[in-house]
Amino acid sequence: MKRMLTGLVALVFLFASVARADDSFKVEYVSGKKGFETKIQGTLVISDQTLTMMDGKGVVFEVPLKTVTRVSSRVETINQNSFIRLNKNMAFVSVTTESADAAESILFTIDPKLADGLVAKIEFAAKKVKTDLGAGQPAQPAPKAPAKTNVPEAPQPTEVVIPSGTDVKVRLTRDLTSATAKAGESIEFSVTEDVVVNGCTVIQRAAPASGRILNVTRQLLSRGGKLEITVDSVKTVNGEIVPVRGRKSVQGNRTAIRAEEATIPSGTSLVATSDGDRSLALKAAPNALPQRGQSPSIGEKQAEPQKPTAQLTIDQVIQMVVAKLPDDIIIATIQKSPSKFELTPETLIKLKAAGVSDAVIRAMTR
């Protein structure tokens, strides 16, 4: 009888150790929107009270099992950010937790063969903890995440004021001459440097600016031609048009033999200044990932990364080429823009005739 009891105890310990080994899973923690997600590989451990994610450096986060309200291996969205399964060899598992404040979903990827087992383990452990609490132990509120030990980066302000008199450097995008120019005619410029206010870019390099021909005097036998142009407005990062002031005047040369027309070549630089204070609304910077050793902030949604809203047109691409901007700058501007170019055969012929390189055209097709 004694031998039987000893064998039974040994069997119980063996079963407990095997069960404990089954309570850890190799997973990958996924956070963020598709295209901007962050992944942390490690081990998800299901203990008596908590769900703990660990990697080679230590604890990534720890969630009380009593806060788990839903576990699923059929995940379409998390924090309202759509995910598309890019790797058919991995399965998604989401764990929804809830506190007195709000709910949040935590997303993992795992070997599909282990997905159902992970879901079942978490559901069983969470149900057991809640049952134990209901049997007489008073439910405790979910612990708050410990204070961060390092100072996070300051988020971008949601509103920035562009002070009156802020310099905006621009470049003319086409040749002008007093022989053909007309007073009042519209002209286009391109911004040559980012304009930064309080650490925030409010006007991007290559942003369009508009102006006009103010005065034109034709060349006469004894008098050279004269041109006067002005910059009137520029487009900001969020698509708003703000007024600016900038002028340039050119007088044609006069020699002993003849007088010449006034010319302003493409690429000529001007410095305009903002006309009056202008308040500009910007998107907030994305939230940082949870720090090591902290639970993910329950209910906190990750903001989408800021994207430029200015639409880029085919004519503006041609203007940048005419302004002799380097291809790498033009391509970077195209890649930052949300524009979708309709490249018909006629448009492609127009681009090649304007001198647009093959590399720029390929960037426009993506």
Residue-level pLDDT, tens digit, the chain, 366 residues: 444 444 433 433 333 333 344 578 888 887 765 555 678 888 888 888 888 888 877 888 788 888 888 888 765 444 444 444 445 567 788 888 887 666 777 887 888 888 888 888 888 888 888 887 765 555 455 555 555 555 555 555 578 899 999 999 999 999 999 999 999 999 999 999 999 998 889 999 999 999 999 999 998 877 889 999 999 999 999 889 999 999 999 998 887 778 889 999 999 999 999 988 888 887 654 443 344 444 544 444 444 445 445 678 888 888 888 888 888 888 888 888 888 888 888 888 888 888 889 888 888 887
Q: In one letter, which amino acid is 68?
A: V
CB atoms within 10 A of CB 166: 20
**What domains, with CATH codes, occur in the chain?**
2-134 (2.30.29.30), 164-276 (2.40.128.260), 314-365 (no CATH)
The three-state secondary structure class of 69 is strand
What's the confidence (pLDDT) of residue 157? 53
pTM: 0.38
Judge contact between 280 and 309, C-beta under 8 A: no
CB count, 10 Å around CB of 226? 17
Alpha-carbon distance of 303 to 226, in angstroms, equals 53
CA distance linking residue 322 with residue 173, whole number of Å: 6
Secondary structure class of 17 (helix, strand, coil): helix
Query: Quick one: tokens of 2?
Result: 């004694």
- Return the axis-axis angle of helices 327-336 and 358-365, rounded to nearest 10°: 10
pLDDT of residue 33: 57
Structure tokens at 275: 């006309």
Residues whose CB is less than 8 angstroms from the CB of residue 188 and which lie 6 or more positions away in sequence, other chains included: 172, 173, 174, 208, 209, 210, 211, 319
What separation in angstroms does the CA of 241 have from each of 104, 236, 237, 300? Answer: 39, 6, 10, 34
Residue 235: both structure tokens together: 């487009």
Instruction: Name the 3-class secondary structure at 355.
Output: coil
**Residue 254: strand pairing partners:** 259
| CA pair distance 51, 71, nearest whole angstrom | 12
Rounded Cα distance between 314 and 351, Å, is 8
Taking the CA atoms of 25, 27, 32 and 33 in sequence, report the sign of the dihedral they define: negative
